[in-house]
Amino acid sequence: MIAPKGTGHFINGLTVSSNTFRTINGSSDRVEGVDATHAGLDLSRLRNVNFTGNTFNNVAGIAVNPVTITHSQNTASDTWTVDCGAFLPFGGRARHTDAILAEGAITNAAGQAQFSMPYVVNEQGLQQTQVQVRWPSAVRGKVQLTVRCDNPT
């Protein structure tokens, strides 16, 4: 789909699923890309982009959307920063967090289990590829986040 004149292009519905990407006699940085001769992608308008179940051989950076990332926070902090940029297709932004799940106990600096629920702030950092997980007090532990570069609806 092409955007109106003077704006970037956008994607409305793209599925790349169950493929094997393999390079021979060398390696490749990524498998996805955009020819930006006339306009790049408007990363704020991606919609229904699915990169799932693919296999990457001799490819340095894999593309996954939605991507599930495990983050371990070893020192107690009330804001945890998770960078998703290495995985999101087309250099996309971390626009939506679909899920967050604690793996084991979330503890304070004294090692006592905390039972509060965090919230997330998407599109953080210079490239907007980071998600901040914010807690009511300083805690440490491990979480899994499922993050998307698009608007799934």
Residue 40: phi and psi, rounded to 5, are -85, -170
Task: Give me the pLDDT at residue 88, please.
Answer: 95
Q: Decide if 123 is inside a domain.
A: yes
What is the helix (H) or strand (E) element at residue 115, kind and residue range?
Answer: none
Residue whose tokens read 């003077």: 6
Task: Give me the pLDDT at residue 66, please.
Answer: 96
**Nearest C-alpha neighbor of 83 from the set 92, 75, 26:** 92
Q: Are residues 100 and 118 in the same domain?
A: yes
Q: Are residues 39 and 76 in the same domain?
A: no
In sequence order, which ranges of 1-153 are alpha helices (DSSP H)? none
Task: Give me the pLDDT at residue 3, please.
Answer: 45
Measured CA to CA, the distance from residue 15 to residue 47 in angstroms comes to 11
- Sort strands 12-17 and 47-52 into parallel, antiparallel or unpaired: parallel
Q: Decide if 4 is inside a domain.
A: no
Domain with 51 in it: 12-57
Task: Give me the pLDDT at residue 104, please.
Answer: 97
Q: Decide if 72 is inside a domain.
A: yes
Q: Decide if 62 is inside a domain.
A: no
Q: Decide if 143 is inside a domain.
A: yes
Q: Are residues 144 and 71 in the same domain?
A: yes
Q: Are residues 24 and 49 in the same domain?
A: yes
Q: Give the mean pLDDT per block of 10 residues along the chain (153 residues).
A: 55 86 88 82 88 91 95 98 95 95 97 97 97 98 97 83
**How many domains does one find in the chain?**
2
Task: Give me the pLDDT at residue 126, please.
Answer: 96
